[in-house]
Amino acid sequence: MFPTMLTQTQFDSGALAGLASIAHPMRDVGYWRLAAAGRRVAPRRQFDVIVREGGQARYAIELADADRGRLAGLGEGFLAPGGMINLAARGARTGCHAFLYGDRPDEPLWDSRELRQGDGYACMPMRPGSWRIENLLDGAVGRLRVAYPDPRTIAAGQRLATAPVRVTVGMAILPDDLRIDPGQLLVFAIDVRCRLAVTLEQPDDGPPELAAWREERSRMALERVFGNDRC
């Protein structure tokens, strides 16, 4: 997982994989069926969702188990009215999505490839560089810069930011120009029909003088161990 975290260069809310998740509110009391889908999911795996008083506030579903041909914890989830289904596919080899059904088994009431008002999406871009945020359904665009974690400033005691960064997706993506540190979570509040793509456009491998700084640090470390005569 760790190498994938650092090398993932695209997030797509319509094809969950890696460090991303979707939240969907379940407002009405009743019985619902959620089916996981994806190129490797055959047949579709299903989850029962029962919304009733006294249920939980959150039901987490890992779609990657379906992508691998199995589901851990297949069964029923009980939610309180207004509770959230949380979908993720952290170990998926290909992107996953899901359909939510009510009374009609062949007509989905919700498709995770088209988020709606009240839904949420979160992802964690780790690769430093310039990223593009786009709602593929209406063309709204925002910009994101993931800062390079300069080891010189970290060695001087500066810490990376860790707090989640909140973004609203409406007629526009706001704020439309973001800067985060690696490891900060982007949390999108959805106000319109939406399929979000967060894509790396230009990687940042750090300032060119960093190699000389690392070489000097290595030389100083060797001197402390062996003395000047050995370096």
- Kindly report, residue by residue over 205-228, the tens digit of the pLDDT: 878 776 666 666 666 666 576 666
The model's confidence at residue 155, banded by pLDDT at 50, 70 and 90, is confident
Residue 75: what pLDDT? Answer: 61
Q: What is the pTM of this model?
A: 0.84
Residue 220: what pLDDT? Answer: 66
Does residue 135 surpass a pLDDT of 60? yes
The model's confidence at residue 146, banded by pLDDT at 50, 70 and 90, is very high
What H or E segment, with its residue span, contains residue 8? none
Beta strands 76-88 and 96-101: pairing type? unpaired
Give the rounded distance of the alpha carbon of 27 from its chain centre: 24
Q: How far apart are alpha carbons 41 and 64 in whole angstroms?
A: 9
Q: How far apart are alpha carbons 96 and 147 in whole angstroms?
A: 29
Pairwise pLDDT comparison (214 vs 189), residue with the higher score: 189
Task: Tell me how far CA of residue 197 lies from CA of 43, 52, 177, in angstroms.
Answer: 27, 34, 15
Residue 217: what pLDDT? Answer: 65
Pairwise pLDDT comparison (119 vs 224), residue with the higher score: 119
The model's confidence at residue 5, banded by pLDDT at 50, 70 and 90, is low
Structural contact between residues 201 and 144, judged by C-beta atoms closer than 8 angstroms: no
Q: How far apart are alpha carbons 33 and 99 in whole angstroms?
A: 8
Residue 1: what pLDDT? Answer: 44
Does residue 69 surpass a pLDDT of 90? no
The model's confidence at residue 2, banded by pLDDT at 50, 70 and 90, is very low
Preceding peptide of 175 cis, ω within 30°: yes
Does residue 203 surpass a pLDDT of 70? yes
Q: Mean per-residue pLDDT for 171-197?
A: 97
Residue 56: what pLDDT? Answer: 93
Residue 22: what pLDDT? Answer: 98
